[in-house]
Structure 1
Amino acid sequence: MAVQHLNKSNFKQTIESNAFVIVDFWAPWCEPCVSFTPTFEAASEAHPDIVFAMVNIDEDPEISNYFNVKQIPAVMPIRNQVVVDAQVGEMSQSELESALKSWGEFDMGEINRHFDEKASA
C-alpha cells in the first residue's frame, strides 16, 4: 500500500478509521528523513495491513506540536487511536521490521479496558 501524506484535514479521520497506523514525522530539509523514506515506503509495501503515513512538520506544525515531536525523523505507531511508542532517528530496514513486529504484538488489553471503563462511567 502506498504511503499516505497526512495533514490537518485528514489526520484525525485516518487515525480514527484505521486500527494500526505508523506515522513518520519528517521534513524535506532533513537528510536522515529523506534517506529513511525509501525504507519506510518499502515497509508499507510489505505490510499492506498497516497504514503508513507521513507528516511534513513544516507544512503541518500543529500535528507535530500536538505530539511534542522535537526531533526528526520520528516514527510513531498508533494502535486503536493510542500512541504505543515512538522511535526517533533513522532506522535500517531490519530495525524497522523489528519495531513493526513489536508494535504489532503490543498488548492493547489494559489500554482497551481503561477506555471501556471510562466510556461506561
Structure 2
Amino acid sequence: MASPESIHQLLTVAARLLDRAASEIRDARLEPVRGNIGRTGEILAGIFEIEQQIYLLRPELKPAYLNALSPYPESNKLLTRFMFEACQLEDAGEFGRAIEKYEEYLSLEESTHHREIAEGEIRRLSKRDDP
C-alpha cells in the first residue's frame, strides 16, 4: 500500500540511480554533457522537493545528516566559488585554465574532504585537456 515510507524508499533509490546516471553521462561524454547532466540535476531537485514534503509529514524519515550543520561552512563557500569559476572556464573549452583555478583553490584550502573534491576535478579535467 502506498505510504510516505514507501514513496520515500522509491525516491531514495531513484535519486541514487540518477546520481550514478549523471556520473556515467559525464564519463561517457554523452553530448551535450552539460545539458544532460543539468536535466538530470533538475529531476534530482524535484525529488528532493518531494522528499522535503515527506519529511514534514514524517520527520523520523529525514536522514540525520540533513539536520547536521556542516563543520566546514567557509570551505563549502570557497569551493563553490572556485567551482563556479572553473565550470565557466570548462564551458568555454579552457580546460587548462579551469585546472589552474582548482590548483589555486588547493593552495588556499586545508579541509581534506574539500581538497579531494578539487583534486578529483583536476583529474577529470586533465583527461579532457590531453590532446
- Higher helix share goes to which structure? 2
The two structures have a TM-score, normalised by structure 2, of: 0.29
The two structures have a TM-score, normalised by structure 1, of: 0.31
- RCO comparison, higher one (Cα < 8 Å, 6+): 1
- Higher strand share goes to which structure? 1
Higher Rg: 2
